């Protein structure tokens, strides 16, 4: 029996050996064995022209990548969504003929899916990552998808490199580790050897990559698109979503702990906000650039690694989106929704951005395998609010029952219908742009500046934000085993900031970089979260309360908090009801067994337990951890002794007043301030 088992195992090993391939040191070929002379650039008409369908290598590479995972999305697998509506502030007819951007009185239904990019469906919400912010507008002209991120730039400049990027940041293929993290060798090796990623990396290492909430993060269309008006006049445009609650983030230690305490933290936050009537609101803004100014910004506007600084081209706020309804079924809606940058309406068109050109192929191709075929548009969440008529038939998941014999164009039996619609009557017509040049795999020289805007971002950060970026680099690179890769990355980012690179080098044990740093001094205040909106509304406050609290006085304070929209949750000794004087009582939402300070934005301490030493110890730890995460802390009545025990009296963001009106006002302001970075912890 043993010999047979050994023979069987040997035979299996021999069988598997014929399939094992080690690509190290080999020359690049297609899957057909054709040696390729270029793998960096898609085939275009001229250096700045569009990618052409003839590019068999690009299509093979992207098609294989798009079909690598089933059934979840290859990227953006972990998502959460909500329904809502969009309403325009003013007509944009001067710039675009898109009907949903014409009448301020009209409301357009929307569906928004937020997501992480890197992790699987089972990963945590609060990992360091870019976030997807995809919006489907159900317009009278068909569906328009604004497929955005919470970061305005991207890692790469050409869609042909997207499979390489994602392969680098996904779990390493030999052991499938780590999950939902870029803190490993292959990602940073990619960064060091693809330096166009420098600007995006600065954003990823910043607080933007660990948002406090989906409700408190910006969205960006990333690419340069076109608006086209009814006279055929075009303008370049970039899209922005601006949260009315401001743009805020977690701190890294808090984000890591939340991944264990509540891996669904962002999902719960969005769902509960909508359930409680705190509808998330985002204003839509556009940056508009005349075609004749295309080359006046000092960088190539087709480069997806570049922003248009808001101080140079202001964001014009044109409307507001309100999310007011949770989904009824997660799978049917959130999982089956299919976004595609190519879902446009008349008045919105593309540019020759080579990353956008790649996405226009990739998204549709991906839906074919993820949703089982070409009829994903018939799923309820994807169906337009207007009827569709064409000669497409059959296929997996077909729901439409097409009548008649005709399914081709041109025809006489049905009077050549379904018939094309003229542009004058609302038919989509691509913008006519002159394109000429040799078929070439290359990138324009205007795409070669990889560091100036990365430095702009660094210069724009507050001291606290800069410290967080240094800490993020140090954490990520500290997880990289290869000393060579660590050194390469530090040397690379010396081109962004020598101060940044030297600090990181010291933390991760490599040589200080030899570069001279950057001589760019320009900053953009719009890039710093220190310059965002600050509100107490919807902030979640832990109220630590036990029996015997002074009822009327505490009720006065809590009512003041509720009046400004703060969300209060009571932490007590036991679940049930906590009783105060004068018949005032509150339901207990949590005990310290089920609540952690990382779940809250602030803490209000009123009293403690006269019986339980463990409760008092847990309360002291709870407050201390909130303090270490720079959060506001308030105390009245007996709760003030915890500030003494934890030696917090007089520290920034710690509020303690005898006058309850003054206390309430100051604590509300402290909660609105989000964090107190000048606090010594």
Consecutive H or E run containing 664:
helix 660-672
DSSP string, 96-128: ---GGGT-TT-EEEEEEEEEESSS-TTS-TTSS
Consecutive H or E run containing 477:
helix 463-478
Q: Three-state secondary structure along 534-597?
A: CCCCCCEEEEECCCCECHHHHHHHHHHHHHCCCEEEEECCCCEEEEEHHHCEEEECECCCCCCH
d(CA 523, CA 461): 8
Q: Which of 57, 76, 83, 674 is catalytic?
A: 76
Query: Does residue 149 carry a catalytic annotation?
Result: yes
HSE on the CB side for 46, CA within 13 Å? 9
Q: Cβ neighbours of residue 361 under 8 Å, at least 6 residues apart?
A: 58, 59, 62, 159
Phi, psi of 579 (to 5 degrees): -105, 130
Contact status, residue 318 vs residue 92, Cβ threshold 8 Å: yes
Q: Which of 118, 143, 149, 646 is catalytic?
A: 149
d(CA 295, CA 292): 8
Angle (CA) 592-596-598 rounded to 5° is: 165
Q: Which of 182, 278, 246 is nearest to 489 (CA)?
A: 182
What helix, strand, coil percent values describe the chain, rounded to 5? Answer: 35, 20, 50
Radius of gyration of the chain (CA): 28
**Distance from the Cα of residue 571 to its chain's centroid:** 32
Strand, coil or helix: what is 93? coil
Query: Does residue 76 carry a catalytic annotation?
Result: yes
Strand, coil or helix: what is 279? coil
Residues with catalytic roles: 76, 149
């Amino acid at each position: 029996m043993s010999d047979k088992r050994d023979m069987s195992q040997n035979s299996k090993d021999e069988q598997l050996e014929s399939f094992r391939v080690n690509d190290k040191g080999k020359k690049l070929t297609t899957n057909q064995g054709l040696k390729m002379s270029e793998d960096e650039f898609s085939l275009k008409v001229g250096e700045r022209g569009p990618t052409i369908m003839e590019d068999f290598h690009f299509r093979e590479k992207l098609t294989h990548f798009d079909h690598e995972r089933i059934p979840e999305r290859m990227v953006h697998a972990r998502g959460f969504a909500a329904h809502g509506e969009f309403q325009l502030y003013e007509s944009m007819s001067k710039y675009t003929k898109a009907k949903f951007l014409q009448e301020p009185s009209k409301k357009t239904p929307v569906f928004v899916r937020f997501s992480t990019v890197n992790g699987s469906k089972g990963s945590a919400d609060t990992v360091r990552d870019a976030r997807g912010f995809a919006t489907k507008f159900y317009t009278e002209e068909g569906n328009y998808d604004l497929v955005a991120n919470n970061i305005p730039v991207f890692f790469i400049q050409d869609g042909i490199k997207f499979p390489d990027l994602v392969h680098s940041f996904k779990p390493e293929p030999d052991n499938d580790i780590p999950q939902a993290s870029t803190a490993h060798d292959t990602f940073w090796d990619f960064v060091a050897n693809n330096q166009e990623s420098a600007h995006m990396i600065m954003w990823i290492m910043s607080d933007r990559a660990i948002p406090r909430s989906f409700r408190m993060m910006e969205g960006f269309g990333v690419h340069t698109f076109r608006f086209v008006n009814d006279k055929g006049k075009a303008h370049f445009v970039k899209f922005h979503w601006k949260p009315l609650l401001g743009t805020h983030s977690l701190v890294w230690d808090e984000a890591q702990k939340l991944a264990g305490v509540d891996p669904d933290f962002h999902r719960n936050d969005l769902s509960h906000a909508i359930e409680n009537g705190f509808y998330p609101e985002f204003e839509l803004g556009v940056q508009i650039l005349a075609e004749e100014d295309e080359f006046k910004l000092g960088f190539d506007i087709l480069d997806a690694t570049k922003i248009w600084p808001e101080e140079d081209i202001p964001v014009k706020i044109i409307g507001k989106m309100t999310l007011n309804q949770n989904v009824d079924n997660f799978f049917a809606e959130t999982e089956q929704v299919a976004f595609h940058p190519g879902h446009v309406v008349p008045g919105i068109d593309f540019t020759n951005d080579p990353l956008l050109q790649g996405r226009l192929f990739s998204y549709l191709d991906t839906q074919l395998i993820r949703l089982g075929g070409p009829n994903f548009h018939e799923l309820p969440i994807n169906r337009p609010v207007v009827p569709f008529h064409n000669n497409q038939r059959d296929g997996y998941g077909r729901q439409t029952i097409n009548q008649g014999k005709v399914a081709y164009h041109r025809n006489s039996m049905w009077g050549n219908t379904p018939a094309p619609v003229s542009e004058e009557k609302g038919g989509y017509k691509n913008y006519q742009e002159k394109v000429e040049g040799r078929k070439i795999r290359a990138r324009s020289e205007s795409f070669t500046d990889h560091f100036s805007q990365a430095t702009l971002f660094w210069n724009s950060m507050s001291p606290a934000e800069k410290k967080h970026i240094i800490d993020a680099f140090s954490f990520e690179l500290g997880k990289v085993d290869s000393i060579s890769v660590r050194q390469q990355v530090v040397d690379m980012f010396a081109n962004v900031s020598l101060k940044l690179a030297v600090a990181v080098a010291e933390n991760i044990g490599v040589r200080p970089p030899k570069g001279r740093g950057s001589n760019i001094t320009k900053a953009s205040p719009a890039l710093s979260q220190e310059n965002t909106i600050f509100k107490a509304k919807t902030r979640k406050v832990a109220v630590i309360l036990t029996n015997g609290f002074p009822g009327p006085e505490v009720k006065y304070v809590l009512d003041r908090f509720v009046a400004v929209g703060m969300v209060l949750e009571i932490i007590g000794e036991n679940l049930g009801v906590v009783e105060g004087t004068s018949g005032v009582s509150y339901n207990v939402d949590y005990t310290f067994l089920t609540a952690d300070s990382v779940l809250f934005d602030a803490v209000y301490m009123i009293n403690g337990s006269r019986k339980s030493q463990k409760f008092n110890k847990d309360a002291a730890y709870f407050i201390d951890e909130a303090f270490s995460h720079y959060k506001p802390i308030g105390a009245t009545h007996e709760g003030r002794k915890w500030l003494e025990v934890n030696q917090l009296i007089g520290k920034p963001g710690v509020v303690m007043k005898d006058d309850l009106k003054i206390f309430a006002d100051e604590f509300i302001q402290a909660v609105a301030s989000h964090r107190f970075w000048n606090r010594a912890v």
